[in-house]
């Protein structure tokens, strides 16, 4: 009985060791996908929460904003390992490098506290965490190297705290990159709105649309006809929770995003692409 209980505990511990990292990774993918999508659709005047995207939608959107940060972090880790194996620093070199890293860290902290003054500067939210994170990581490694050279015990608490700072800054920089990625994707979409499905929208009432490029046609009344107006020049930006988010097929600063519910008050047709087989 005791042996079966011990075996069960081992299996539970093993399963927990797998589930916890998977849950954490899924949460991070969801967060970065959400940040990117929020920035992307805000460009078109849409609050992403009104679209009704699922958790899976956000997770599937996360690889694009995470690609560059993951590649950079991996390359930095490889460079650090190569440097560690190739260089044999002296205690004096470690001290001088640590002093330079401490100065860099102080500059980053000063920039952090000056956010009310310089927070509007372009790329502030990317440069400051990178400066602080790189300096903290360097100080953590140099603290470990100094203890090895002096045959002293490594300052574990200091190294752990610097590791927390480095991780936090990496998270901050990655979230900023995800936001920039979403904004860049939105601008790319705005330049190529023709890539989205063309929509012909029939409505019962006149929509009084004012966006340039839209074509409104009054349909001829006939027996059984319930739709009175037809709109062309619309593109399907995204499908939400039983709703369509439509934009004009050419970007203009005075354009708006049209939100229509998929119910009996509208009739939607999707046009073929003009590309004969």
For 165-209, how does the pLDDT look when each residue is reduced to its tens digit (9 = 90+)? 999 999 999 999 999 999 999 999 999 998 999 999 999 999 988
Closest CA to 174 of 60, 57, 101, 74: 74
Q: What pLDDT is attached to residue 150?
A: 77
Give the side-chain half-sphere CA count within 13 A for 270.
7
Quickly state the pLDDT bin for 153 (edges 50, 70, 90): confident
Q: At 277, is the secondary structure helix, strand, or coil? A: coil
Indicate whether 11 pLDDT > 90. no
- pLDDT tens-digit series, residues 112-129: 999 999 989 989 999 999
- Asked if residues 176 and 125 have their Cβ atoms less than 8 Å apart, the reply is yes
Q: What pLDDT is attached to residue 19?
A: 42
Q: What pLDDT is attached to residue 107?
A: 95
Task: Give the span between the Cα atoms of 96 and 204, in whole angstroms.
Answer: 76
CA 137 to chain centre: 24
The pTM score is 0.82
Indicate whether 87 pLDDT > 90. no
- pLDDT tens-digit series, residues 21-70: 667 778 888 999 999 999 999 999 999 999 999 989 999 999 888 888 88
Task: Give the span between the Cα atoms of 152 and 106, in whole angstroms.
Answer: 26
Task: Give the span between the Cα atoms of 57 and 36, in whole angstroms.
Answer: 12
């Amino acid at each position: 009985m005791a042996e079966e209980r011990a075996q069960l505990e081992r299996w539970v511990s093993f399963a927990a060791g797998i589930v916890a990292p998977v849950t954490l990774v899924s949460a991070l993918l969801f967060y970065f996908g959400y940040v990117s999508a929020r920035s992307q659709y805000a460009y078109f005047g849409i609050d992403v929460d009104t679209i009704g995207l699922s958790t899976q939608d956000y997770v599937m959107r996360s690889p694009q904003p995470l690609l560059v940060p993951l590649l950079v972090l991996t390359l930095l880790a490889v460079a650090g390992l190569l440097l560690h194996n190739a260089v044999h620093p002296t205690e004096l070199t470690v001290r001088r490098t640590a002093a330079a890293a401490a100065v860099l860290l102080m500059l980053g902290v000063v920039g952090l506290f000056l956010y009310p003054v310089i927070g509007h500067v372009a790329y502030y939210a990317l440069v400051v965490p990178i400066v602080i994170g790189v300096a903290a990581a360097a100080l953590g490694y140099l603290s470990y190297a100094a203890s090895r050279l002096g045959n002293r015990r490594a300052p574990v608490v200091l190294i752990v705290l610097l590791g927390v700072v480095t991780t936090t800054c990496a998270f901050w920089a990655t979230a900023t990159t995800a936001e920039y990625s979403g904004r860049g994707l939105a601008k790319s979409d705005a330049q190529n709105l023709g890539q989205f499905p063309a929509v012909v929208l029939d409505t019962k009432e006149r929509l009084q649309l004012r966006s340039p490029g839209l074509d409104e046609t009054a349909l001829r009344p006939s027996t059984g006809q319930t739709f009175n107006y037809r709109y062309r020049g619309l593109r399907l930006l995204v499908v939400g929770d039983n709703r369509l988010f439509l934009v004009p097929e050419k970007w203009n600063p005075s354009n708006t995003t049209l939100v229509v519910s998929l119910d009996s008050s509208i009739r939607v047709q999707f046009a073929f692409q003009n590309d004969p087989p």
